[in-house]
Amino acid sequence: MTFDERLRNVSVIGAAGKMGSGIALLLAQEMAKQKLKPENKNVPYRLNLIDVNDVALDGLQTYLKGQLIKAGEKTTVLLRDLYKNREDLVENYDVIAAFVDDAMSLFRLGTDLGMAKNSHIIFEAVVEDKNIKVDLLKKLDQLTGKDAVYFTNTSSIPINVLNREANLGGRIIGFHFYNPPAVQKLAELIAADQTKPELKEMSLELAKRLRKTIVPSNDIAGFIGNGHFLRDGLHAIREAKKLADEYTLPGAIYIMNKVSQDLLVRPMGIFQLIDYVGVNVYQCISETVSGYIKGENLKDDLLAKMIQKKVLGGQRADGSQKDGFLKYEKGRPAGVYDLEKSEYKMFDPSGWSGEIDKKLGDYPKGIVPWRNLLMDPKKDEKLTVYFKNLNASNTLGAKLAKAYLKNSKEIGEFLVKSGVAKSAQDVNNVLLNGFYHLYGPINDYI
């Protein structure tokens, strides 16, 4: 069976979640384009969107329609070519509306796993729990034919474990989309020892059609992205605990978040990133990876304390940020959670946070905010100048930033040395494309 034939009946399990909905959107666009080819005029196409949450599925349909309209507006030239034989479609909005209708006609939404019975490709995007995934994969494999293949969006669980415990015989591969899937260019590809060669080839073809940059990772828990992110975040948490005696824990979290964003020239601070992912999700990554990697402390009790207080971060259905380590107002950090008082300590530029800013010291010359450098053709040159000045600075902020950069580099080098990544370039590519960093962690800046 060819890849195009497989694309005629696809299922997404966990479709109403943030990752599943993004995967569904990408697949809908590709499948609609295939359906519109003259040779496929009378071929039925089905995209089965399955989730346990019936209410969320209603919201999914609304989300997909809105996103398909936006996608159509950005690809009008392509759509006009696909609809060139439709003389009734005159204006661009007519073409876009036709495309949205054709894409929406693919969908079959429901909570019944049996909808996936005739699917030849199944995307799994459920909660990051090994037992739940294995149970689901076993049920699916009893429903579908033995030619069905599975793309799992797990970000941490070894593919070998899922393949072995679900008895899939190599018909599964890790295809880890980054959040949000419809926007992020990166996908990590993780094959199990038994993953069939044709499934690897299929994955590369899928990536090409979805316009994703593929970085291969070896099948070691956490892979490259979460392998670095988990250890990077734990460094910040442990540094904050050291600073807490002098600055209190809220003050120390403020310091590490500010240093990791401003002085490391990143899109957001590390605690803001943990909130974006979800404190509970980050804790899940920690627990999962710890279960497979021995001899390394990859847990911290601060996470459990936050979860106990039900301070979880994450995002609402509309994409807005929920409060976590930080409190957000109009999408921006405005305070830090105080565990002892069970309330947020709001930033006060003329008070406590302003005093901390003074103690961090002046920023080195040449510092430019991440956003300003993102599209700057002289980005690398400016970063080199800035980091040279950072190296020469001895302020508290500079010392913390240099220690952070050194640790981040050591994490990257460890991922290569331990066989998670094949090269330093692969580690850097994941951080550049998946986390939107301006530079990779393995560099000569420090």
Confidence band, pLDDT 50/70/90 cuts, at residue 409: very high
- 249 token code pair: 């824990």
Mean pLDDT across 364-376: 96
C-alpha torsion angle, residues 263, 264, 266, 271 (rounded to 10): -80
Residue 284 in contact with residue 314, Cβ under 8 Å? Answer: no
pLDDT tens digit sequence for 162-178: 999 999 999 999 999 99
In the DSSP assignment, the letter for residue 22 is H
Give the pLDDT score at 217.
Answer: 98
Give the pLDDT score at 428.
Answer: 98
Residue 385: pLDDT over 90: yes
- Domains of the chain (ranges, CATH numbers): 3-216 (3.40.50.720), 225-434 (1.10.1040)
Computed over every residue of the chain, the mean pLDDT equals: 96
Residue 291: pLDDT over 90: yes
pLDDT tens digit sequence for 95-123: 999 999 999 999 999 999 999 999 999 99
Residue 298 in contact with residue 231, Cβ under 8 Å? Answer: yes
pLDDT tens digit sequence for 200-259: 999 999 999 999 999 999 999 999 999 999 999 999 999 999 999 999 999 999 999 999
Give the pLDDT score at 317.
Answer: 72
With a CB cutoff of 8 Å and minimum separation 6, the contacts of 112 are 50
Give the pLDDT score at 413.
Answer: 98
Give the pLDDT score at 87.
Answer: 87
Burial classification of residue 372, based on how many CB atoms lie within 10 Å of its CB (0-12 exposed, 13-18 middle, 19 or more buried)? exposed
How far is CA 265 from each of CA 66, 178, 294, rounded to the nearest angstrom?
33, 21, 33
